[in-house]
Amino acid sequence: MKSTMEYRDKRFALVLVDLQKKFGYSTEGLRTSTGLHLERVNEAIRLFRGTGNPIVYVMYEGEGHEDVKVDDGDSLVDGLLPPEDGDAVVWKSGMNSFRNPELAETLDRLGCDHILIAGMVAHYCVLATYFGAFDKGLSPYMLEGGLMATEERNVGMVEELCKTLSPDEMAENVLFKV
């Protein structure tokens, strides 16, 4: 779903959900989807860093999907720009990243009222986090082209259901200095 102009003067954080090896390499579909969409996520990371806007890496504590074990499963997927000084890293234990209070507390501390979400798995944890944001008084958006799923049709369905923004649209935000 294309967004409205309401995002142009809001304080955003980029929230990166579960971009860990234990998910990204667990199925052929996720491996393919990660290859297709990872550069878009990196583009958003570069935009947020270049404008001084906050980035939060959300990491899942626990086993991955499909009972597939990968070496160093808690590590970020290869090719993803890693956290830098000033970026937040929070851990979660459920599908909805807001189930644990740490994400909402971090976003509140950063003064954010809107979030741009990217990550995997689009139709599980990413979608649960999107809807969980409303319960915390936040306005969520999905990063257009920045979601990964077990099948590409699931990426399209999630983008159709949710408000989306591209990095170019984010750059129009008056709080971003590009």
Q: What is the pLDDT of residues 107-162, one digit of tens each?
A: 999 999 999 999 999 999 999 999 999 999 999 999 999 999 999 999 999 999 99
* Mean pLDDT of the region 73-82: 90
Does residue 1 surpass a pLDDT of 70?
Answer: no
Percent of the chain topping pLDDT 90: 74
Expressed as residue numbers, the domain containing 151 is: 5-171
Whether residue 177 is contained in a domain is answered as no
DSSP string, 38-87: HHHHHHHHHHHHHTT--EEEEEE-S--STT---TTTTSBPTTSPPP-TT-
Does residue 31 belong to any structural domain of this protein?
yes
The verdict on residue 20 lying in a domain is: yes
pLDDT of residue 173 exceeding 90, the answer is: no
Please tell me the distance from the alpha carbon of residue 150 to that of residue 26, in angstroms, as a whole number.
Answer: 9
Cα diameter, the chain = 45
Query: 68: pLDDT confidence band, cut at 50, 70 and 90?
Result: low
Which CATH number belongs to the domain containing residue 142 in this structure?
A: 3.40.50.850
Q: Decide if 176 is inside a domain.
A: no
Residue 157 within any structural domain of the chain: yes
Instruction: Give 151's DSSP letter.
Output: S
pLDDT digits (tens, 9 = 90+) for 2-56: 555 577 788 999 999 999 988 877 788 889 999 999 999 999 999 999 999 999 9
138 C-beta neighbours (distance < 10 Å), count: 21
**Assessment of whether the complete model's pTM goes beyond 0.85:** yes
Split into its structural domains, the chain has a count of 1
**Between 72 and 164, where is the model more confident?**
164
Question: Is it the case that residue 77 has pLDDT exceeding 80?
Answer: yes
Residue 81: inside a domain: yes
